Chains A and B, each alone.
Chain A
Amino acid sequence: MVAKKGGSKAEDAVEDLARVPLQAILLADSFTTKFRPITLECPKALHEHKDRRRKDNNAVMTMVIKQSKPSQVTRQTRLGTDELIMAIDPGTKQLLYYEDKADDLKGTVTLDKAFLAENPSISLQNDKQDCYIDICTPEVLSLFTDNFDYQHLRRHFVKGLLLDDIMGYKIFTHEIHSSYAARIDNFRSYDSISKDIIQRWTYPLVPDVQFSINSAARLERHGIYRASDIAQSRSAQVGPFTYIGKGSTIGNNTVISNSVVGDGCKIGSNVSVDGCYIWHNVTIEDGCKLRHSILCDGVIMKSGAILEPGVVLSFKVVVGQEFVVPAYSKVSLLPQPVKQDSDEELEYADSNSGIISTTNTLENGDSTNDLSEIQYSASSDIGNGGRGFIWSISEIAREEDWRHSVAPIPAQKLIELTQAVYDDLEFPDQDDPLLPLADERESATESEDDTRDESQYFEREVEATFLRAVHENVKEDHIILEVNSLRLSHNMALENCASALFYSMMKLALDTPHHSATDLVKNTNDVISRWGKLLKPYLQGIDDEIEVILKFEEMCLESGKEYAPLFVQVLHLLYDKDIIQEEAILNWANEKEDADESDKVFVKQSEKFIQWLNEASEEED
C-alpha cells in the first residue's frame, strides 16, 4: 500500500486510488538500485477484490498472501519477519485473526472462546507468508486519518480492524500460488528479494527484460547479468548471480560475486566484493574488501578500505584509506541527531523497517549536498580523508542489528535462534492449562489497582460531563456522544457507562438541597424523568440493568447513605420509568439469594416489591 508510508500523502493518494483502482505495489527494484515502487497489476486479486466490494461494502481490504515453509528460522533469515499465524474462514477467505508474533507469545496462540463461537469454520494457518501487499478501498485511508495513532500497518491497523466490530469492516485474503509477491521491509528482505529477482522468480520482472530501465542487460551463464559498455579486465572474475550495470569498469584481479553493481561504477584492481549492493556511480579504489554491504550513490572508497558485513554507506560517503568500517555500522554525511524524539524514531526505524531509515538518508543526502563540502571535510570519523559519521544505535537496537541487515546471520545467532524456537515449543506444555484466554490474560497482566483507578477516573469524568451538561442544558445526544468518546478513550464497556451515568444522576439528586427523605425521592424523580433517556443507549440487556442495580446498592452502602432507607422507593421509581425491567430486578434478587446476610440488606428491604412483581408476572401468565 502506497499511502501508508507518507502519512500526509494519504489524501493525495485517495484520488489516485479512486481513479486507477488499486494496483499492487512491489517495493523492490534493486536494479535501478533505489527503493522505487514498481506497479504490477495483479488482475486476479484485484478482480476478486472488486467483486467482493460490489457485494459487500464492508470489504475494505484484500491482503495478498502466499505459501511458505512454517519454519521460524527461514522466515527470520529470509525476510527478517517473525512467524505469522492467521485464522482464515476457509469459505469466504475472510481474515479473522492475525498474529505476527512480534509480541512475546512465542509458540502459542490464544483464541477467544467467543471468537470460536462466532465463526463456524476457521482454518488456522502458520504456513502462510504475508506479502505485505494489500488492495485497499479509499475507506482505508480515511481510517488512517481517523485513527492517527495507527503506526504500523499490521500490528495496529489490521489488528485494530479485526477487533473493532462497530464499523464491521472486513479484511479478506488472496493466496497466490505460482506468482511472486513481496515487499521490502528491511535490509534483510532487500537482500532476499534482490536475490530472488536475480534468480528470476519474479519473471518477467527480471534485469534482462527491459522494464523500467532503458538498457536491458544480457543474461549470461551462471546467472550473470551484464549491461552494455562494461570494461572488465581479463583477470577479473565476475562470479555467479551478479549484475553489472551500464558503463561500469572493473580492474585487474578483482573478484565480484553475488552482488549488484549499478551504472557507472569504477571498481579498481584487487578488490573483492561479495554479496554487496553497489548503487550508481560508486568508486572503489584498489585493494578494498567489501562483504555484504549496501553502498548508495556516489560513495567513494579509498584504497585499502574494508567494509565488514552489514555496513550501510549513505549517499556520497567517503571511506578513508585503509579504514575498517565495523560490522553493522550505518554511515551518513549527516551527524546523528541527538534529540530525544528522533532517537525514538530511529529505534523504531531500525527495529521495524529499513525503508524509513533509508528515506531518511535519502533526504539527508539530497539536502546536504552543498553543505557537506565545508561542514564535514574535517570529520575524521571514518578514516583518513574520509567523510561521514558513523551513527551509533542504542544498545537494544544493536542486539537486533543482525536481524535486519544484508549480511547473513552469524552461525552462533542462528543456533540461538533455532534453540529459541525449540524452547518455545516446549513452553506451552509446561503451563498450558494455567494459561488464561487472551482477553483475560491481557487484563490480568495489568495490576488490579490499575483497573480500579482507571474505572474510578472514568466515573469521575462521566460525572463531570453530566454535571456540566445539566448546568449548561446540553442536548442528550451530545452528552451521549461525549460519554461514548470517554468510553473509548478509557476502554470501558457499555455497562460501565450505564452505571457511571446512573451514579452521577443519583449524586445530582443527592446534592440538590433537600430537607427530608420525601424531598430526596422527589428530587430523584425529577432527575430521572429529566435525564433518564440518557441511560437508554447503554442499557442493552438485562445484565446492564443488573449492573445499575448493583451500582445503586453499592452507592447506598458507601457514598450515598441517605439513599439506604429509600432503596425500594427508588427501585420502584426506576421500574416505573422503564429504566429497569422487572426481569432484571428478579434476576438480581435471585443472584443475591446465596450471598451473605450483610449483602442481602437491600433484597430484604425490597422483598415486598419483588413479591409484588412476581405476582404481577404470574397474573400476566
Chain B
Amino acid sequence: MENTYLSVIFHSTKSYIGLKVVFFCHSGPFRILVKRSFFIEDLIWRELLRHIGILFIHHSIIHDLSNKLLGVIFIIIMPDTHALVNDFLNQLKKRKIEGSKATAKLTAELLRSVISQQRIPHTNQAGALIQAIKAIGEQLIAANPVEVAVGNIVRRVLHIIREEDLSLTTASIGGLSLHPMSDDEDNVDPDDLSAAAVAAAARSTLRAPSLQTLLEGVPHSAPLHQSSSSAGDSEEKTKSTDKNSRSRKLKHHVIETVNELIRDITTCHELIAEQAVEHIHHNEVILTLGSSGTVIEFLCAAKEKKRSFRVFVAEGAPRYQGHTLAKELVARGLQTTVITDSAVFAMISRVNMVIVGAHAVMANGGVIAPVGLNMVALAAQRHAVPFVVLAGIHKLCPLYPHNPQVLLNELKSPSELLDFGEFSDCMDFGIASASPLLHVVNPAFDYVPPKLVSLFITDTGGHNPSYMYRLIADYYSADDLVLQQRPTS
C-alpha cells in the first residue's frame, strides 16, 4: 500500500472544520493527496496542513497519478450550526441586517439548517425539536429585540413543528385504532376521514381561544406535549421500526414546510403587488413616506397594469430613503413628486390614498412603522384619506404592543441627524456642569394605533385591523407566544 494514494477533495462553504475529518485523515494507511478546491477558505486550508501530513499537489498531477490512486473521496464539511448561529447573532447584534424581510428570510434559513442538523431522540421528537428551536430563538430575539420579524419566524417554525407532529401522530393513531377493529382485513385503506377529523380537532385546540372554538364547544384539551408524547410512548411499545421512519418523516415534513415558509417570504412582495389593481385607480394621487420594497413593487405593479396615477413621496427624514424611492419610481415611468415630511399635512387634501410599508404589525392591528408615519396617519384621518398598510405575513407579530417583551423602538445614532464634527463643541463635557446641553434623539419607529389604519394588505388579501388577531391565530400557536423561559431558580 506504500504507493497508493488517496485523493481527498475537501469542500466547504463555511469557515469551520470538524475534527472528524482530520481524525479520519490521520487514520488512513495511505498518503493523502489533497487538491485544493476553490471553496476551501484560507483558514481551513492552513488548519488542514497543520493537522495532516498531506502531500499538497497541483490538480493536474492527479491525472498522472490516477492509476495509482486508491480512490477519490469527496468530503463535504457541513457548516456547523453553532458557528452559523453565532454568526447570525453577531450580525443581528451589530445591526448589520436591515429590513424585516431580509431578517425573516435569514432567520428561516438558519432555523432550517438547525433543524436538519438537530439530532432527535426516539421519544418526544417534536418536543426535542421545539426545545432546540426555542433555545436558539431566545438568543436570536435577545440579540435584536427590536426586529420582531426574528421572533415571528421563530414562532412560525415552532408552530410548523407542532402542526406536523400533530398530523403525524393523528395519522398513526388513526392507523392503530383501526387494527383491533379489522383483525382479518388488510389495512390497505386506513380511515383517512377519521384521522383528518382528529387532526383538525387537535389543531383547533392548538389555537388561541377564538370565537369559533367557543361556539363549537370543543373543550380546551390538555397541553399538546403530553398527548403527543403519550401517543409516542404507546406507539413505541407497539412498533419500534416505525420510529426511525417517523423521525425522518417529521424532520422531512418540517423542513418541507419551512421551505414553503421561505418561499412565502420571498414571494410576498409579488403576492401583495398582485392586488394593486384593485386598490389603485386611474388618476389617483398616492402618498407614501420613506421607502419600502413592498410599496415600490405595489406601485409598479399598478403601473404595469396601465393605471396612470401620481405619487407623492415624503422624503422620510433622517434617512431620506424617499429620495431613492423617487428615483426608482421615476425610472419606472411614474409621475412622482417629492415633498418634505412636514409638508404632508398641506398636501394630504389632494391625496386619494396613503400607502405605506410597516416594520411590524402587532396583534391588535397597531403598526410599528418608520418614524413619521403616525403624523401621516393622523393627517390622513383628518381628511378621511384611506391609510393602507402593506405587510408580508412575516411582519405579523403575535404580541400586543403593551406586552413587556415588546421593545417598540430603538434610538439610533444621532449622527444621522447631525454631523459630530460640526457639533463637537456642543458635546463638550469638560466645562461647567459636565452634562451637555445638547441631546440628540433619533428614534427609528413610530407606533400607529389600529384606529388610524384603514386596511392591511397582506399576501393573503386585504384585512381590517380588527381581524389581525385571527390571522395570527392561524399562523402561531399560543404556547409559543412567550419564548423567554422563566429564570429557573
Q: Which residues of A contact B (CB under 8 A)?
A: 66-69, 71, 74, 76-78, 80, 127, 129, 177-180, 188, 191-192, 195-196, 199-204, 209-211, 216, 218-219, 223, 240-241, 257-258, 274-275, 292, 407-409, 411, 414
Interface of B is mostly: loop
Residue from the set B144, B415, B431, B440 with the largest chain A CB neighbour count within 10 Å:
B431
6 contacts between A and B (CB under 8 A): A78-B424, A127-B421, A199-B436, A203-B415, A209-B95, A209-B144
Question: What residues on B are CB-neighbors of A127 within 8 Å?
Answer: 421
Nearest-Cβ distance from residue B408 to partner chain A, whole angstroms: 12
Known: A66-B421, A76-B430, A77-B430. 9 other contacts (CB 8 A): A69-B421, A69-B422, A74-B425, A78-B427, A178-B416, A195-B427, A200-B411, A201-B420, A258-B434
Which of A78, A129, A200, A202 contacts B428 (CB under 8 A)?
A: A78
Query: In the complex the two chains form, is A409's CB within 8 Å of B416's CB?
Result: no
Quick one: which of B116-149 are within 8 Å of A by CB?
142-144
- Tell me if B414 is interfacial: C-beta within 8 Å of chain A: yes
Query: In the complex the two chains form, is A240's CB within 8 Å of B435's CB?
Result: yes
Known contacts being A210-B93, A292-B434, A407-B434, is A203 close to B428, with CB within 8 Å?
Answer: no
Residue from the set B407, B425, B439 with the largest chain A CB neighbour count within 10 Å:
B425
Nearest-Cβ distance from residue A362 to partner chain B, whole angstroms: 24
Distance in angstroms between the alpha carbons of A275 and B413 in the assembled complex: 22
Distance in angstroms between the alpha carbons of A258 and B436 in the assembled complex: 10
Question: What residues on B are CB-neighbors of A177 within 8 Å?
Answer: 419
Question: What residues on A are CB-neighbors of B283 within 8 Å?
Answer: none
Known contacts being A77-B429, A192-B429, A241-B435, is A204 close to B421, with CB within 8 Å?
Answer: no
Question: What residues on B are CB-neighbors of A209 within 8 Å?
Answer: 93, 95, 144
Distance in angstroms between the alpha carbons of A386 and B388 in the assembled complex: 68
Nearest-Cβ distance from residue B362 to partner chain A, whole angstroms: 19
Query: In the complex the two chains form, is A210's CB within 8 Å of B143's CB?
Result: yes
Nearest-Cβ distance from residue A46 to partner chain B, whole angstroms: 15
Question: What residues on A are CB-neighbors of B407 within 8 Å?
Answer: 218
Residue from the set B95, B142, B430, B431 with the largest chain A CB neighbour count within 10 Å:
B430
Nearest-Cβ distance from residue A407 to partner chain B, whole angstroms: 7
Nearest-Cβ distance from residue A217 to partner chain B, whole angstroms: 12
- Tell me if B188 is interfacial: C-beta within 8 Å of chain A: no
Quick one: which of B266-283 are within 8 Å of A by CB?
none
Query: In the complex the two chains form, is A199's CB within 8 Å of B428's CB?
Result: no
- Tell me if B94 is interfacial: C-beta within 8 Å of chain A: yes
Query: In the complex the two chains form, is A216's CB within 8 Å of B142's CB?
Result: yes
Which of B413, B422, B425, B439 contacts A203 (CB under 8 A)?
A: B413
Residue from the set B413, B416, B434, B440 with the largest chain A CB neighbour count within 10 Å:
B434
Query: In the complex the two chains form, is A78's CB within 8 Å of B95's CB?
Result: no
Known contacts being A178-B415, A210-B143, is A409 close to B431, with CB within 8 Å?
Answer: yes
Which of A180, A199, A204, A218 contacts B94 (CB under 8 A)?
A: A204
Query: In the complex the two chains form, is B415's CB within 8 Å of A257's CB?
Result: no
- A239, closest chain B residue (CB): B435
Query: In the complex the two chains form, is A408's CB within 8 Å of B429's CB?
Result: yes
Interface residues on B, range: 20 to 34
Question: What residues on B are CB-neighbors of A219 within 8 Å?
Answer: 411
- A202, closest chain B residue (CB): B413
Question: What residues on B are CB-neighbors of A211 within 8 Å?
Answer: 93
Query: In the complex the two chains form, is B425's CB within 8 Å of A71's CB?
Result: yes
Question: What residues on A are CB-neighbors of B424 within 8 Å?
Answer: 68-69, 74, 78, 129
Query: In the complex the two chains form, is B95's CB within 8 Å of A204's CB?
Result: yes
Question: What residues on A are CB-neighbors of B144 within 8 Å?
Answer: 209
Question: What residues on B are CB-neighbors of A199 within 8 Å?
Answer: 414, 427, 436, 439-440
Which of A67, A68, A200, A292 contacts B412 (CB under 8 A)?
A: A200
Distance in angstroms between the alpha carbons of A414 and B429 in the assembled complex: 13
Q: Which residues of B contact A (CB under 8 A)?
A: 93-95, 142-144, 407, 411-416, 419-422, 424-425, 427-436, 439-440, 442
Interface of A is mostly: loop
- B413, closest chain A residue (CB): A203
Question: What residues on A are CB-neighbors of B429 within 8 Å?
Answer: 77-78, 191-192, 195, 408
Query: In the complex the two chains form, is A188's CB within 8 Å of B93's CB?
Result: no
The 4 closest A-B pairs by CB, nearest first: A77-B430, A67-B421, A203-B413, A408-B434
Question: What residues on B are CB-neighbors of A69 within 8 Å?
Answer: 421-422, 424-425
Question: What residues on A are CB-neighbors of B427 within 8 Å?
Answer: 78, 192, 195-196, 199, 201
Distance in angstroms between the alpha carbons of A411 and B425 in the assembled complex: 16
Nearest-Cβ distance from residue B135 to partner chain A, whole angstroms: 15
Question: What residues on A are CB-neighbors of B440 within 8 Å?
Answer: 199
Query: In the complex the two chains form, is A200's CB within 8 Å of B431's CB?
Result: no
Query: In the complex the two chains form, is A408's CB within 8 Å of B93's CB?
Result: no
Nearest-Cβ distance from residue B397 to partner chain A, whole angstroms: 19
- B416, closest chain A residue (CB): A178
Query: In the complex the two chains form, is A180's CB within 8 Å of B428's CB?
Result: no
Query: In the complex the two chains form, is A408's CB within 8 Å of B430's CB?
Result: yes
Question: What residues on A are CB-neighbors of B415 within 8 Å?
Answer: 178-180, 201, 203
Distance in angstroms between the alpha carbons of A390 and B93 in the assembled complex: 42
Which of A192, A196, A241 contacts B430 (CB under 8 A)?
A: A192
Question: What residues on A are CB-neighbors of B419 within 8 Å?
Answer: 67, 177-178
Nearest-Cβ distance from residue B470 to partner chain A, whole angstroms: 32
- A76, closest chain B residue (CB): B430
Which of A77, A216, A218, A240 contacts B431 (CB under 8 A)?
A: A77
- A204, closest chain B residue (CB): B95
Question: What residues on B are CB-neighbors of A180 within 8 Å?
Answer: 413, 415, 420
- A179, closest chain B residue (CB): B415
Distance in angstroms between the alpha carbons of A241 and B142 in the assembled complex: 23
Question: What residues on A are CB-neighbors of B433 within 8 Å?
Answer: 408
Query: In the complex the two chains form, is B436's CB within 8 Å of A195's CB?
Result: yes
Nearest-Cβ distance from residue A275 to partner chain B, whole angstroms: 5
Question: What residues on B are CB-neighbors of A202 within 8 Å?
Answer: 413
Distance in angstroms between the alpha carbons of A66 and B422 in the assembled complex: 11
- A216, closest chain B residue (CB): B142
Query: In the complex the two chains form, is B420's CB within 8 Å of A66's CB?
Result: yes
Question: What residues on A are CB-neighbors of B428 within 8 Å?
Answer: 74, 77-78
Distance in angstroms between the alpha carbons of A66 and B419 in the assembled complex: 10
Distance in angstroms between the alpha carbons of A240 and B433 in the assembled complex: 13
Question: What residues on A are CB-neighbors of B412 within 8 Å?
Answer: 200, 203
Distance in angstroms between the alpha carbons of A216 and B436 in the assembled complex: 25
- A212, closest chain B residue (CB): B93
Query: In the complex the two chains form, is A258's CB within 8 Å of B421's CB?
Result: no
Which of A68, A78, A204, A411 contacts B93 (CB under 8 A)?
A: A204
Distance in angstroms between the alpha carbons of A218 and B404 in the assembled complex: 12
Which of A71, A200, A292 contacts B413 (CB under 8 A)?
A: A200
Distance in angstroms between the alpha carbons of A195 and B428 in the assembled complex: 10
Question: What residues on B are CB-neighbors of A223 within 8 Å?
Answer: 439
Which of B143, B430, B435 contacts A78 (CB under 8 A)?
A: B430
Question: What residues on B are CB-neighbors of A68 within 8 Å?
Answer: 421, 424
Question: What residues on B are CB-neighbors of A241 within 8 Å?
Answer: 435
- A75, closest chain B residue (CB): B424
Question: What residues on B are CB-neighbors of A203 within 8 Å?
Answer: 95, 411-413, 415
